[in-house]
Amino acid sequence: MTVLRRPFVWVIGAVLLAFVLVPAYGNNVELRENLLLAALYITLASSLNMILGYAGYVNFGSIVFFGLGGYLCVWLMSAHGWSLFVATLAAGVTVSALALLFGLGILRLRGAYFALATIGVNEAVMAFVANFEPWGGSSGIYLSPELFQPLGGPARALWTIYYLMVGVMGLSLYLSYAVKRSKFGLALRAIGQNEDAAAALGVVTPRYKAAVYSLSAFLPAVAGGLYFFKSAFIQPPDAFDLQLSTEAIVIAMLGGQGTVAGPAIGAFLYEQLRGWLLTSPAFSHFQLVIAGTLLLAIVLFAPGGLMGWLYRRWPGLRRILE
Protein backbone atom coordinates (compact mmCIF):
# COMPACT_ATOMS: atom_id res chain seq x y z
CA MET A 1 0.00 0.00 0.00
CA THR A 2 2.31 2.76 -1.20
CA VAL A 3 -0.59 5.20 -1.07
CA LEU A 4 -0.58 4.96 2.73
CA ARG A 5 3.04 6.03 2.91
CA ARG A 6 2.17 9.52 1.74
CA PRO A 7 1.56 11.86 4.68
CA PHE A 8 -1.12 13.85 2.86
CA VAL A 9 -3.42 10.82 2.56
CA TRP A 10 -3.33 10.56 6.34
CA VAL A 11 -4.18 14.24 6.64
CA ILE A 12 -7.26 13.70 4.47
CA GLY A 13 -8.21 10.68 6.57
CA ALA A 14 -7.87 12.62 9.82
CA VAL A 15 -10.03 15.46 8.49
CA LEU A 16 -12.72 12.98 7.40
CA LEU A 17 -12.68 11.27 10.77
CA ALA A 18 -13.09 14.62 12.53
CA PHE A 19 -16.02 15.53 10.27
CA VAL A 20 -17.70 12.19 11.02
CA LEU A 21 -17.08 11.99 14.77
CA VAL A 22 -17.36 15.55 16.07
CA PRO A 23 -21.04 16.28 15.28
CA ALA A 24 -22.12 12.72 16.10
CA TYR A 25 -20.80 13.25 19.64
CA GLY A 26 -23.84 14.52 21.55
CA ASN A 27 -26.03 14.58 18.41
CA ASN A 28 -25.05 18.20 17.70
CA VAL A 29 -27.41 19.16 14.85
CA GLU A 30 -26.38 22.80 14.64
CA LEU A 31 -22.72 21.89 14.24
CA ARG A 32 -23.69 19.27 11.65
CA GLU A 33 -25.46 21.85 9.49
CA ASN A 34 -22.44 24.13 9.79
CA LEU A 35 -20.05 21.36 8.75
CA LEU A 36 -22.34 20.25 5.92
CA LEU A 37 -21.96 23.69 4.36
CA ALA A 38 -18.20 23.56 4.95
CA ALA A 39 -18.07 20.14 3.22
CA LEU A 40 -20.07 21.55 0.30
CA TYR A 41 -17.76 24.55 -0.03
CA ILE A 42 -14.70 22.29 0.12
CA THR A 43 -16.14 20.06 -2.63
CA LEU A 44 -16.97 23.02 -4.88
CA ALA A 45 -13.64 24.78 -4.31
CA SER A 46 -11.49 21.65 -4.70
CA SER A 47 -13.22 20.72 -7.93
CA LEU A 48 -12.92 24.25 -9.26
CA ASN A 49 -9.26 24.29 -8.24
CA MET A 50 -8.48 21.47 -10.68
CA ILE A 51 -9.33 23.71 -13.62
CA LEU A 52 -8.56 27.11 -12.04
CA GLY A 53 -5.42 26.27 -10.10
CA TYR A 54 -3.88 23.50 -12.20
CA ALA A 55 -4.87 24.40 -15.76
CA GLY A 56 -5.15 28.16 -15.17
CA TYR A 57 -8.61 28.55 -16.70
CA VAL A 58 -11.05 30.79 -14.79
CA ASN A 59 -14.46 29.16 -14.61
CA PHE A 60 -16.95 31.76 -13.35
CA GLY A 61 -19.85 29.42 -13.99
CA SER A 62 -18.77 26.28 -12.14
CA ILE A 63 -22.07 26.39 -10.28
CA VAL A 64 -23.89 25.20 -13.40
CA PHE A 65 -22.68 21.66 -12.55
CA PHE A 66 -24.03 21.90 -9.03
CA GLY A 67 -27.39 23.23 -10.23
CA LEU A 68 -27.82 20.76 -13.07
CA GLY A 69 -26.84 17.88 -10.79
CA GLY A 70 -29.39 19.05 -8.26
CA TYR A 71 -32.13 19.34 -10.86
CA LEU A 72 -31.42 15.95 -12.42
CA CYS A 73 -31.35 14.20 -9.07
CA VAL A 74 -34.51 15.87 -7.75
CA TRP A 75 -36.34 15.22 -11.02
CA LEU A 76 -35.29 11.55 -11.21
CA MET A 77 -36.46 11.03 -7.64
CA SER A 78 -39.76 12.90 -7.84
CA ALA A 79 -40.89 12.00 -11.36
CA HIS A 80 -39.37 8.55 -11.77
CA GLY A 81 -39.10 7.29 -8.21
CA TRP A 82 -35.36 6.55 -8.33
CA SER A 83 -33.57 6.08 -5.04
CA LEU A 84 -31.24 8.80 -3.76
CA PHE A 85 -28.03 6.84 -4.39
CA VAL A 86 -28.84 5.92 -7.97
CA ALA A 87 -30.21 9.36 -8.74
CA THR A 88 -27.15 11.26 -7.45
CA LEU A 89 -24.79 8.93 -9.31
CA ALA A 90 -26.80 9.23 -12.51
CA ALA A 91 -26.81 13.03 -12.09
CA GLY A 92 -23.03 13.06 -11.63
CA VAL A 93 -22.37 10.92 -14.67
CA THR A 94 -24.82 12.81 -16.91
CA VAL A 95 -23.48 16.23 -15.91
CA SER A 96 -19.90 15.04 -16.45
CA ALA A 97 -20.81 13.82 -19.93
CA LEU A 98 -22.54 17.12 -20.72
CA ALA A 99 -19.49 19.02 -19.43
CA LEU A 100 -17.25 16.99 -21.73
CA LEU A 101 -19.46 17.96 -24.65
CA PHE A 102 -19.57 21.66 -23.65
CA GLY A 103 -15.88 21.59 -22.83
CA LEU A 104 -14.85 20.42 -26.29
CA GLY A 105 -16.64 23.52 -27.62
CA ILE A 106 -15.87 26.33 -25.21
CA LEU A 107 -12.33 25.23 -24.31
CA ARG A 108 -11.23 26.28 -27.77
CA LEU A 109 -11.40 29.72 -26.18
CA ARG A 110 -8.57 30.98 -24.06
CA GLY A 111 -8.14 33.28 -21.10
CA ALA A 112 -10.78 35.93 -20.65
CA TYR A 113 -12.94 34.66 -23.51
CA PHE A 114 -13.28 31.30 -21.79
CA ALA A 115 -14.17 33.01 -18.50
CA LEU A 116 -16.94 34.95 -20.24
CA ALA A 117 -18.25 31.89 -22.02
CA THR A 118 -18.62 30.07 -18.68
CA ILE A 119 -20.85 32.90 -17.42
CA GLY A 120 -22.81 32.59 -20.65
CA VAL A 121 -23.23 28.84 -20.23
CA ASN A 122 -24.53 29.24 -16.68
CA GLU A 123 -26.96 32.01 -17.62
CA ALA A 124 -28.17 30.16 -20.72
CA VAL A 125 -28.82 26.98 -18.73
CA MET A 126 -30.57 28.94 -15.96
CA ALA A 127 -32.77 30.79 -18.47
CA PHE A 128 -33.55 27.51 -20.21
CA VAL A 129 -34.44 25.67 -17.00
CA ALA A 130 -36.65 28.60 -15.92
CA ASN A 131 -38.70 27.95 -19.06
CA PHE A 132 -38.52 24.16 -19.06
CA GLU A 133 -41.95 22.91 -17.96
CA PRO A 134 -41.02 19.28 -17.10
CA TRP A 135 -38.71 20.74 -14.44
CA GLY A 136 -41.38 23.09 -13.12
CA GLY A 137 -40.22 26.20 -15.00
CA SER A 138 -39.52 29.20 -12.80
CA SER A 139 -41.39 27.76 -9.80
CA GLY A 140 -39.11 24.72 -9.58
CA ILE A 141 -39.70 21.25 -8.16
CA TYR A 142 -40.89 20.36 -4.65
CA LEU A 143 -40.12 16.94 -3.18
CA SER A 144 -42.78 15.19 -1.14
CA PRO A 145 -41.72 14.38 2.44
CA GLU A 146 -42.46 10.69 1.72
CA LEU A 147 -39.19 10.48 -0.23
CA PHE A 148 -37.37 10.69 3.13
CA GLN A 149 -39.06 7.43 4.29
CA PRO A 150 -36.67 4.95 2.59
CA LEU A 151 -33.83 6.60 4.56
CA GLY A 152 -35.61 6.05 7.87
CA GLY A 153 -37.54 9.31 8.25
CA PRO A 154 -36.39 12.94 8.04
CA ALA A 155 -34.21 12.94 11.17
CA ARG A 156 -32.17 9.89 10.13
CA ALA A 157 -32.13 10.98 6.48
CA LEU A 158 -30.43 14.26 7.39
CA TRP A 159 -27.60 12.35 9.09
CA THR A 160 -27.28 10.05 6.08
CA ILE A 161 -27.07 13.04 3.75
CA TYR A 162 -24.45 14.61 5.97
CA TYR A 163 -22.27 11.48 5.91
CA LEU A 164 -22.67 11.20 2.15
CA MET A 165 -21.67 14.85 1.74
CA VAL A 166 -18.58 14.27 3.91
CA GLY A 167 -17.78 11.27 1.72
CA VAL A 168 -18.09 13.42 -1.39
CA MET A 169 -15.80 15.99 0.23
CA GLY A 170 -13.22 13.28 0.98
CA LEU A 171 -13.41 12.06 -2.60
CA SER A 172 -12.95 15.59 -3.92
CA LEU A 173 -9.83 16.05 -1.79
CA TYR A 174 -8.41 12.70 -2.82
CA LEU A 175 -9.25 13.30 -6.48
CA SER A 176 -7.62 16.72 -6.37
CA TYR A 177 -4.53 15.13 -4.77
CA ALA A 178 -4.38 12.14 -7.13
CA VAL A 179 -4.73 14.39 -10.18
CA LYS A 180 -1.96 16.65 -8.94
CA ARG A 181 0.44 13.71 -8.46
CA SER A 182 -0.40 12.11 -11.82
CA LYS A 183 1.01 12.64 -15.27
CA PHE A 184 -2.37 14.11 -16.17
CA GLY A 185 -1.93 16.74 -13.45
CA LEU A 186 1.56 17.52 -14.68
CA ALA A 187 0.17 18.11 -18.18
CA LEU A 188 -2.52 20.38 -16.71
CA ARG A 189 0.02 22.44 -14.81
CA ALA A 190 2.11 22.72 -17.97
CA ILE A 191 -0.98 24.10 -19.73
CA GLY A 192 -1.47 26.53 -16.84
CA GLN A 193 2.04 27.87 -17.17
CA ASN A 194 2.33 28.10 -20.93
CA GLU A 195 -0.21 26.43 -23.14
CA ASP A 196 1.71 26.85 -26.40
CA ALA A 197 4.87 25.41 -24.88
CA ALA A 198 2.88 22.49 -23.45
CA ALA A 199 1.35 21.78 -26.86
CA ALA A 200 4.79 21.96 -28.48
CA LEU A 201 6.04 19.36 -25.98
CA GLY A 202 3.31 16.95 -27.01
CA VAL A 203 0.50 17.61 -24.52
CA VAL A 204 -2.76 17.16 -26.44
CA THR A 205 -4.16 20.31 -24.84
CA PRO A 206 -7.81 20.26 -26.06
CA ARG A 207 -8.29 16.69 -24.83
CA TYR A 208 -6.70 17.35 -21.43
CA LYS A 209 -8.65 20.54 -20.91
CA ALA A 210 -11.97 18.92 -21.78
CA ALA A 211 -11.13 15.98 -19.51
CA VAL A 212 -10.42 18.19 -16.50
CA TYR A 213 -13.51 20.31 -17.19
CA SER A 214 -15.60 17.14 -17.20
CA LEU A 215 -13.86 15.74 -14.10
CA SER A 216 -14.41 19.01 -12.22
CA ALA A 217 -18.15 18.66 -12.96
CA PHE A 218 -18.71 15.24 -11.40
CA LEU A 219 -18.50 15.82 -7.64
CA PRO A 220 -20.24 19.24 -7.66
CA ALA A 221 -23.14 17.58 -9.51
CA VAL A 222 -23.33 14.80 -6.89
CA ALA A 223 -23.11 17.40 -4.12
CA GLY A 224 -25.89 19.37 -5.82
CA GLY A 225 -28.09 16.28 -5.81
CA LEU A 226 -27.53 15.73 -2.09
CA TYR A 227 -27.95 19.39 -1.21
CA PHE A 228 -31.24 19.89 -3.05
CA PHE A 229 -32.62 16.55 -1.85
CA LYS A 230 -31.97 17.86 1.65
CA SER A 231 -33.73 21.17 0.93
CA ALA A 232 -36.58 19.13 -0.66
CA PHE A 233 -37.07 21.83 -3.26
CA ILE A 234 -35.16 23.44 -6.11
CA GLN A 235 -35.61 26.66 -8.08
CA PRO A 236 -33.49 28.15 -10.89
CA PRO A 237 -32.10 31.15 -8.93
CA ASP A 238 -30.96 28.87 -6.06
CA ALA A 239 -29.53 26.20 -8.32
CA PHE A 240 -27.59 28.47 -10.68
CA ASP A 241 -26.55 31.17 -8.20
CA LEU A 242 -23.49 32.85 -9.75
CA GLN A 243 -22.60 34.20 -6.31
CA LEU A 244 -21.86 30.69 -5.07
CA SER A 245 -19.52 30.13 -8.03
CA THR A 246 -17.70 33.31 -7.27
CA GLU A 247 -17.48 32.40 -3.60
CA ALA A 248 -15.78 29.19 -4.73
CA ILE A 249 -13.21 31.31 -6.58
CA VAL A 250 -12.66 33.51 -3.50
CA ILE A 251 -12.18 30.36 -1.42
CA ALA A 252 -9.65 28.84 -3.81
CA MET A 253 -7.70 32.10 -3.96
CA LEU A 254 -7.87 32.63 -0.19
CA GLY A 255 -6.40 29.21 0.55
CA GLY A 256 -4.01 29.17 -2.37
CA GLN A 257 -4.96 28.12 -5.89
CA GLY A 258 -3.10 25.15 -7.31
CA THR A 259 -2.56 23.47 -3.94
CA VAL A 260 -4.71 20.62 -2.65
CA ALA A 261 -4.98 21.77 0.96
CA GLY A 262 -5.47 25.47 0.08
CA PRO A 263 -9.07 25.32 -1.16
CA ALA A 264 -10.05 23.11 1.78
CA ILE A 265 -8.52 25.44 4.37
CA GLY A 266 -9.88 28.44 2.48
CA ALA A 267 -13.38 26.92 2.48
CA PHE A 268 -13.25 26.25 6.19
CA LEU A 269 -11.99 29.75 7.00
CA TYR A 270 -14.47 31.39 4.65
CA GLU A 271 -17.35 29.42 6.16
CA GLN A 272 -16.36 30.49 9.67
CA LEU A 273 -15.85 34.10 8.60
CA ARG A 274 -19.22 34.15 6.84
CA GLY A 275 -20.97 32.65 9.85
CA TRP A 276 -19.35 35.21 12.12
CA LEU A 277 -20.18 38.12 9.81
CA LEU A 278 -23.81 37.01 9.48
CA THR A 279 -24.32 36.84 13.24
CA SER A 280 -22.34 39.93 14.19
CA PRO A 281 -24.79 42.86 14.27
CA ALA A 282 -22.27 45.44 13.10
CA PHE A 283 -21.07 43.48 10.10
CA SER A 284 -24.05 41.42 8.97
CA HIS A 285 -24.82 43.89 6.17
CA PHE A 286 -21.22 44.24 5.12
CA GLN A 287 -20.60 40.60 4.28
CA LEU A 288 -20.04 41.26 0.55
CA VAL A 289 -17.94 44.34 1.24
CA ILE A 290 -15.63 42.36 3.50
CA ALA A 291 -15.40 39.39 1.13
CA GLY A 292 -14.60 41.80 -1.71
CA THR A 293 -11.95 43.71 0.21
CA LEU A 294 -10.37 40.43 1.31
CA LEU A 295 -10.22 39.10 -2.25
CA LEU A 296 -8.80 42.38 -3.59
CA ALA A 297 -6.08 42.36 -0.94
CA ILE A 298 -5.18 38.75 -1.80
CA VAL A 299 -5.09 39.41 -5.55
CA LEU A 300 -2.99 42.56 -5.20
CA PHE A 301 -0.59 41.58 -2.41
CA ALA A 302 -0.63 37.80 -1.88
CA PRO A 303 -1.57 36.00 -5.10
CA GLY A 304 -0.31 32.73 -3.61
CA GLY A 305 -2.97 32.79 -0.89
CA LEU A 306 -2.57 31.29 2.56
CA MET A 307 -0.64 28.23 1.34
CA GLY A 308 1.77 30.42 -0.61
CA TRP A 309 2.50 32.32 2.59
CA LEU A 310 2.88 29.14 4.67
CA TYR A 311 5.21 27.56 2.11
CA ARG A 312 7.46 30.61 2.16
CA ARG A 313 7.53 30.55 5.94
CA TRP A 314 8.07 26.80 6.37
CA PRO A 315 9.38 25.26 3.13
CA GLY A 316 9.27 21.77 4.69
CA LEU A 317 5.51 21.97 4.83
CA ARG A 318 5.31 21.19 1.13
CA ARG A 319 6.01 17.54 1.88
CA ILE A 320 3.08 17.14 4.28
CA LEU A 321 0.41 19.54 2.95
CA GLU A 322 0.28 19.45 -0.82
Partner 1 sequence: MGILASLFDGVLVGAVYGLAAMGITLIWGVMNVINLTHGTMIVAGMFAVYLLAGAAGVPVYATLPLILIGGFLAGVAMYWIAVHRLVGQPPLMSLLSTFSVNLVLIGLGTVVWGTDLFNVPVSLPGLSLGHYTFPGTHLMAAGLTVAIAAALYVFLNRARIGKAVRAVSGNREAAELVGIPTRRVLALSFGLGVALACVSGMLIATMFPFTVLSGDPYLLKSFVVTVLGGLGNPVGALVAGIALGLLEGLATPFMPVSWTPVIEFVLFVAVLIAFPGGVLGVLGLRGTRPH
Taking the complex as a whole, the smallest distance from the CB of residue 230 to partner 1 amounts, in Å, to 27
Which one of 69-77, 130-138, 157-165, 173-181 is the stretch in contact with partner 1 (CB under 8 A)?
A: 130-138
**Alpha carbons 226 and 217: distance in angstroms, whole number:** 15
Query: Which of 17/289 has CB closer to partner 1?
Result: 289
User: Which residues between 211 and 270 bind partner 1 (CB under 8 A)?
Assistant: 242, 246, 249-250, 253
The reply to whether 139 sits near partner 1 by the rule CB under 8 A is no
Which one of 63-71, 85-93, 152-160, 291-299 is the stretch in contact with partner 1 (CB under 8 A)?
A: 291-299
Q: Which residue of 138, 139, 144, 182 would you call a contact of partner 1, by CB under 8 A?
A: 138
The reply to whether 302 sits near partner 1 by the rule CB under 8 A is no
The reply to whether 303 sits near partner 1 by the rule CB under 8 A is yes
Q: What single-letter amino acid sits at 77?
A: M
Nearest of 73, 15, 67, 16 to residue 44 by alpha carbon: 67
Q: Which residue of 156, 207, 285, 318 would you call a contact of partner 1, by CB under 8 A?
A: 285
Ordered DSSP codes for 127-196: HHHHH-GGGTGGG-EE--GGGGGGGTHHHHHHHHHHHHHHHHHHHHHHHHHHHHHSHHHHHHHHHHH-HH
**Alpha carbons 126 and 243: distance in angstroms, whole number:** 14
Query: Which of 277/310 has CB closer to partner 1?
Result: 277
User: Which residues between 42 and 81 bind partner 1 (CB under 8 A)?
Assistant: 52, 56, 58
The reply to whether 205 sits near partner 1 by the rule CB under 8 A is no
The reply to whether 130 sits near partner 1 by the rule CB under 8 A is yes
The reply to whether 86 sits near partner 1 by the rule CB under 8 A is no
Q: What single-letter amino acid sits at 128?
A: F
The reply to whether 206 sits near partner 1 by the rule CB under 8 A is no
The reply to whether 299 sits near partner 1 by the rule CB under 8 A is yes
**Alpha carbons 255 and 273: distance in angstroms, whole number:** 13
Q: Compute how many residues bind partner 1; rule: CB under 8 A.
A: 43
Is there a contact between 123 and 222 (Cβ–Cβ < 8 Å)? no
The reply to whether 296 sits near partner 1 by the rule CB under 8 A is yes
Is there a contact between 201 and 266 (Cβ–Cβ < 8 Å)? no
User: Which residues between 159 and 198 bind partner 1 (CB under 8 A)?
Assistant: none
Taking the complex as a whole, the smallest distance from the CB of residue 318 to partner 1 amounts, in Å, to 23
The reply to whether 31 sits near partner 1 by the rule CB under 8 A is no
The reply to whether 287 sits near partner 1 by the rule CB under 8 A is yes
User: Which residues between 99 and 128 bind partner 1 (CB under 8 A)?
Assistant: 105-106, 108-109, 111-113, 115-117, 119-121, 123-124, 127-128
Nearest of 315, 250, 241, 235 to residue 287 by alpha carbon: 250
**Alpha carbons 96 and 181: distance in angstroms, whole number:** 22
**Alpha carbons 209 and 171: distance in angstroms, whole number:** 21
Taking the complex as a whole, the smallest distance from the CB of residue 303 to partner 1 amounts, in Å, to 7
Ordered DSSP codes for 71-99: HHHHHHHHHH---HHHHHHHHHHHHHHHH
Positive or negative, the CA dihedral 305, 175, 194, 59 is negative
Binding site for partner 1 (CB under 8 A): 52, 56, 58, 105-106, 108-109, 111-113, 115-117, 119-121, 123-124, 127-128, 130-131, 138, 242, 246, 249-250, 253, 285-296, 299-300, 303
